[in-house]
A and B are shown apart, each in its own frame.
Chain A
Amino acid sequence: MRKSLIPLAIFLVLVGFLAVGLGLNPREVPSPLINRPAPAFSLPLLDAPEQKLSAQDLRGQVWILNVWASWCVACRIEHPLLVEFSKMGMVPLYGLNYKDKPEDATQWLKKFGDPYTRSLSDREGLVGIDFGVYGVPETFVIDKQGVIRFKQIGPVTPEVLRDEIIPLVRKLGA
């Protein structure tokens, strides 16, 4: 091969990568916690702060954790969908109220509906950090052994619910 073809060859490889890159999102951060045990936590309930709920209490069932906040605009987009989904009763939905004031959070749920079996108050956001939360909303599917099986970054859309979450939940034996 002629030496002078090397620059062209390198460039074509580069274009290949760039073309693939156009379809990717450089800002989306996949979770390293998939297929790893969910972090241990113990948080007060939103509606009953004297009581606590821990990860241990939720063992033995498939459950979904949805990270939300009253100040989060995108959460309103997915909320009606979550309300509908919870009515199906397929799998318990637990809310992680992230860096929010309990009064604001309770008001928000009254206004927009409450799909959560219970909501937990993570005022400092520490549990969020443990779950690798970097934006709101985020949603996790956790299996009976307490292992995270799926993470949705951003609002849950009908397609994601239909094509990924529901089949997964069924597979995990909810």
Chain B
Amino acid sequence: MIYELGHLALILALAMSLAQGVLPMIGAQTGNAAWMGLARPTARGQFVFVLIAYLCLTHAFVTNDFSVALAANHSNSTLPLHYRITAVWGNHEGSILLWSLILAGWTLAVSIFSRQLDDRMLARVLGVMGLISCGFILFTLFTSNPFERMFPPPADGQDLNPLLQDPGMVIHPPMLYMGYVGFVVAFAFAVAALISGQLDAAWARWSRPWTTAAWCFLTIGIALGSFWAYYELGWGGWWFWDPVENASFLPWLVGTALIHSLAVTEKRGGFKMWTALLAILTFSLSLLGTFIVRSGVLSSVHAFATDPTRGVFILGFLAVVIGGSLALFAWRAPQVGLGGSFEPVSRESMLLANNVLLLVAAAAVLLGTLYPLAVDALGMGKLSVGPPYFDTVFVPLMTPALFLMGIGPIARWRQARLPELAYRLRWAFGVAAVSALAAFLALGKWTPMIGLGLALAAWIASTVVLALVTRLQEHKSPDWRRRFAAQPGSFYGMLLAHLGVAVFIVGVTIVSGFESESDVRMEPGDTATVAGYQVRLDKIEDVTGPNYQASRATLSVIQDGKLVAIVRPDRRVYNVSRSPMTEVAIDRGLLRDVYIALGDPVSATAWSVRLHHKPFVNWIWIGCMLMALGGFLAVMDRRYRKLRVSEPVRPASAPPQADRALPIGGVVVARSGAGGTGR
């Protein structure tokens, strides 16, 4: 009964999303206030119904109702409750329903936090989002119905894949989807603006916090995925350039270009075409990612069970949505004028270069990911493109962008002078050069990659400090606290996010250059050595878990005679699936991880054990978190300003107010360029 209710709720959600997608858009076109006014209520109604459907599905998993096929195939009565809840999205149908729920959630948020948007714009934005929701719910109902029943119901379920029975599974997919899906808001704003013909600073200002928020979530989602793979897969790697990983990285790269481009559009009125195109591309890559993961066109460890019907549907949806929006772009973009002009050396040109480099990097990743498919489609045989390719190509492409990242915040808007810039950056150059060599002196090993990595990280970090100092110096006030307080949150957000990148680079460089491992055979009492640590196997015992049997080893990690940690890696065999799995034990530290995996028994008493020393590996994810935190600071800044300065509702074409001009670099330009507001 409850599942029929869920199914019905989904159908009602479809009706709501259809209404939300069609009526307000027509209303905006014809000026029909009543129809435009339907946007908010239908958006909220859609959310309620999708939520009901999702809760009904969760009910099946939580109550172990195996008459629902999904629960029968992906859950089990011995599965702990929190994993039964996350098992809802551990499969294709459930995760697509989660997609729809999160999409409805973002839609709800936009419908609530949009007081200052004029009715036409809101109607179009919610309308576009409604059409996308409609597509996804149609897809769910027709090809991926989560409420399929099984009669007679099996006695128990097949259990969730052991790899997914893990805390990482609890947060990684929802975070990732929040990011992936969240870019629909930027997309909707861009399409709405293209339809109305009004791409201006106001549009960018509305769009920015939503876009940055989605970017934060995507950053966290990807970082969590990498962190999870690191400890779950057991071989110590954290990124494999797998098609599904790339599918999440592509929108991140283009999304990063987007948030920077939005800054230019908001502050200077420039880059309008770029920003609109990037907004369309970012969400398009999210959709493309969804297609890749679920259609079976590429082989991946993450891929869901595939089905040609699903692939065809998603591809059709992709063609309509992306093709339609790119066609709209092609039609409207030439009518959008150029924004304010800028010199070849200026903050704008740096950001333009940044856009271009990020897009080229994204294009390279996309090329590598889809190349095997293209070659096969052309009948030219089968090819594999893996980490060796991506590592070789990606680093040279990103290095210039990372270098420019140091200069951009220091350069003035519109016009910066190269000699002056070089002079200001002299300390940063020096620190970077020294850091490049420092590794050799301090760590005893040097390769060009290590040198480059540390130089870039030092460059970025010192330019962050430089930017902060420069900005504080420019603010004339005797009280230093006031100087700090006078800077907007978005400034600190930028500094923190850029610092996060530097931290990330340090982590990657050092762990790649200096990690070590020992592969040994141990009996209780034996001691093995890795990178200055002595690891002694104390005992191995049999353990029974809630749904598995395991052999658990207890190891003592000792350094300089002192006990540093006791770790307990497992080798588990899950009762239902009978698949063996190794649960790695990690002694985490800020400066290193000691990572120990239990292998197979090699004799009656001896076991194979793999010990890894991973210096600075946690800096990788700390760096990502700093990036996300920086983005969060930037989002909060906008909100704060909106609450303090209550703006009356005004039409989109009115020029932005004077107080919006931040006197960056001492130059405030108040000129109207052709077709846009130049500031």
Contacts and interface: CB of A to CB of B under 8 A. Distances in A.
A7 B326 CA distance: 7
Interface in A1-39: 2, 4-5, 7-8, 11-12, 14-15, 17-24, 26-30
A24 B298 CA distance: 10
Contact of B334 (A2, A14, A19, A29): A2
Contact of B377 (A11, A12, A17, A28): A17
Contacts of A20: 377
Given A4-B329, A7-B330, A17-B370, A24 B273 contact: no
A26 B330 contact: no
Contacts of B319: 15
Given A4-B330, A7-B277, A24 B323 contact: no
Given A4-B329, A4-B334, A30-B381, A15 B323 contact: yes
Nearest to B273: A4
A7 B329 contact: yes
A21 B323 contact: no
A18 B281 CA distance: 17
B374 interface: yes
B315 A26 contact: no
Contacts of B372: 26
Contact of B373 (A2, A12, A15, A18): A18
B318 interface: yes
Contacts of A17: 370, 373-374, 377
Interface in A90-121: none
B112 interface: no
B312 interface: yes
Interface string B307-325: 0100110010011001100
Contacts of A15: 315, 318-319, 323
B393 interface: no
Contacts of A28: 382
A116 to B, nearest CB: 31
Contacts of A29: 382
B291 A18 contact: yes
Q: How large is the interface on B (under 10, 10 to 19, 20 to 34, 35 or more residues)?
A: 20 to 34
A22 B374 contact: no
A26 B280 CA distance: 29
B376 A21 contact: yes
Given A4-B329, A7-B330, A27 B374 contact: no
B332 to A, nearest CB: 8
B195 interface: no
Contacts of B377: 17, 20-21, 24
B299 interface: yes
Contact of B295 (A4, A8, A22, A30): A22
A3 to B, nearest CB: 8
Nearest to B276: A4
Contacts of B295: 18, 21-22
B373 A24 contact: yes
Given A12-B323, A19-B315, A7 B373 contact: no
Interface centre among A8, A18, A23 (most CB of B within 10 A): A18
A14 B308 CA distance: 18
A8 B308 contact: no
Nearest to A15: B319
A26 B376 contact: yes
Q: How large is the interface on A (under 10, 10 to 19, 20 to 34, 35 or more residues)?
A: 20 to 34
B230 to A, nearest CB: 26
A134 to B, nearest CB: 12
Contacts of A24: 297, 373, 376-377
Contacts of A5: 330
Contacts of B418: none
Nearest to A8: B326
B333 interface: yes
A143 B311 CA distance: 40
B106 to A, nearest CB: 24
A8 B296 contact: no
B297 A8 contact: no
A29 B281 CA distance: 33
A8 B376 contact: no
Contact of B323 (A2, A11, A26, A30): A11
A29 B312 CA distance: 24
A105 B372 CA distance: 38
Contacts of B5: none
B327 interface: yes
Contact of A26 (B291, B297, B326): B297
Given A4-B329, A26-B299, A30-B381, A18 B323 contact: no
B330 A21 contact: no
Contacts of A4: 273, 329-331, 333-334
Interface centre among A4, A5, A17, A23 (most CB of B within 10 A): A4
B308 A22 contact: yes
Interface string A69-81: 0000000000000
B548 to A, nearest CB: 24
Nearest to A29: B382
B347 to A, nearest CB: 24
Contacts of A22: 295-297, 308, 311-312, 315
B369 to A, nearest CB: 11
A26 B308 CA distance: 13
A111 to B, nearest CB: 24
A144 to B, nearest CB: 28
A11 B297 contact: no
A102 to B, nearest CB: 25
A85 B268 CA distance: 77
Contacts of B334: 2, 4
B452 to A, nearest CB: 32
Contacts of A14: 370
A21 B327 contact: no
Interface in B359-391: 370, 372-374, 376-377, 381-382
Contacts of B331: 4
A43 B164 CA distance: 44
Contacts of B308: 22-23
Contacts of A18: 291, 295, 297, 315, 318, 373
A20 B612 CA distance: 44
Interface centre among A2, A14, A23, A27 (most CB of B within 10 A): A14
A105 B330 CA distance: 66
A50 B330 CA distance: 76
10 contacts: A4-B330, A4-B331, A7-B329, A11-B326, A18-B315, A24-B297, A26-B299, A27-B299, A29-B382, A30-B381
Given A15-B319, A23-B308, A26-B372, 5 more contacts: A7-B280, A7-B329, A8-B329, A22-B315, A30-B381
Q: Which 6 A-B pairs have the closest CB atoms?
A: A8-B326, A20-B377, A21-B297, A4-B333, A26-B299, A4-B330
Interface of A: 2, 4-5, 7-8, 11-12, 14-15, 17-24, 26-30
